[in-house]
Amino acid sequence: MNITYDYYRIFYYVVKFGSFTKAAEALDNSQPNITRAMNNLESQLGVQVFYRSRKGIKLTREGEMLFKRVNIAFEQISLAEHELEQTKRMDSGSVKIGVSEIALHEVLLPVLATYRRDFPNVMVQITNESTPSAIKSLKNDEVELALVTTPININKNDSLSCENLCEFTEYPVAHKMFGIPDNKEISLKELEKYPVIFLSKGTATREYYEELFRKKGMDIKPNVIAATTDQVMPMVKSGLGIGFVPESMMGGNVTVIKLKDKLPKRLICLLYDERKPQSLAAKELIKRLRSM
């Protein structure tokens, strides 16, 4: 059967109000139109669904069977409409973000502070990932957005859109036990004399520094490998080696090493799948990230 949705909608209201006339008023329609629609419904179904009694319109046994299903459908439709209305007002909804640690500290946390204040009922789910892992999660629909640091490797066949949000610079820091003067400039080459802390392979930061040192003709091997950027500063403060961190993640009681050859700036980027529509919660977050 290919029965129009409007017939079922009218049927629902007739049963709800027990009257063709009251249903017509509720639907802002005329009683003859309502009667005609219900006659057409019965004709197309091939069964009688109403009969008239002294107390008004009553359902036949077949009509009761039909209303049982139609009532459930309309309850679900009404619930969906209510949820969508809440989502439009940002009274509900969710957004899932894959984010690298540096992007979290440098960009996302400051933006989320005001985002959560304005939309407290939107659930924000954050997964802490390396750049390659966040890109993989985005491709697999495990996250809606990704905030990552360069270098970024995206296949030309991917439909991922990449927007540069801001620049950041990392600085080498060391425990004062190494005796590196605060005001003395040293070259990258001189860092070969000291133990170095790197992130694990498979991270954008590890790839970045390996390529940087390779271009300088250096073959620095890490003495300590950290799983996350958050681990680097505690390791530096424990005297385990020299680490590279953004200024926002530095702590006290360390020497910030001045380099003769400055480290190139890196980028924090926003990625999303341009083929897929973003949720309203994600669109609002993207707008705020772009205007930071």
Q: Report pTM.
A: 0.69
For 242, list phi and psi in degrees, rounded to 5: -90, 135
- Give the residue range(s) of CATH 3.40.190.10 domains in the chain: 93-167+268-290, 170-263
CATH 3.40.190.10 for domain 93-167+268-290, yes or no, is yes
The answer to whether residues 60 and 90 touch, using CB atoms and an 8 Å cutoff, is no
Q: In what order do the strands lie in the sheet with 243-246?
A: 243-246, 170-174, 255-256
Q: Which pLDDT value is given to residue 292?
A: 81
Q: Which pLDDT value is given to residue 198?
A: 94
Q: Which pLDDT value is given to residue 102?
A: 93
From first to last of its 292 residues, what are the pLDDT tens digits of the chain?
688 889 999 999 999 998 999 999 999 999 999 999 999 999 999 999 998 877 778 899 999 999 999 999 988 888 787 777 766 666 778 899 999 999 999 999 999 999 998 888 889 999 999 999 999 999 999 999 999 999 998 887 788 999 999 999 999 999 999 988 888 899 988 888 899 999 999 899 999 999 999 988 888 889 999 999 999 999 999 999 999 999 888 877 889 999 998 889 999 999 999 888 888 889 889 999 999 8
3-state secondary structure of 134: helix
Q: Which pLDDT value is given to residue 23?
A: 93
Q: Which pLDDT value is given to residue 56?
A: 76
3-state secondary structure of 83: helix
What architecture does CATH give domain 170-263? 3-Layer(aba) Sandwich (3.40)
| Residue whose tokens read 């991917």 | 158
Q: Which pLDDT value is given to residue 63?
A: 93
For 151, list phi and psi in degrees, rounded to 5: -75, 150
Q: Which pLDDT value is given to residue 133?
A: 94
What architecture does CATH give domain 5-89? Orthogonal Bundle (1.10)
Q: Which pLDDT value is given to residue 219?
A: 82
Q: Which pLDDT value is given to residue 175?
A: 93
Cα gap 118→93, rounded to integer Å: 13
Q: How far is CA 48 from its chain centroid?
A: 51
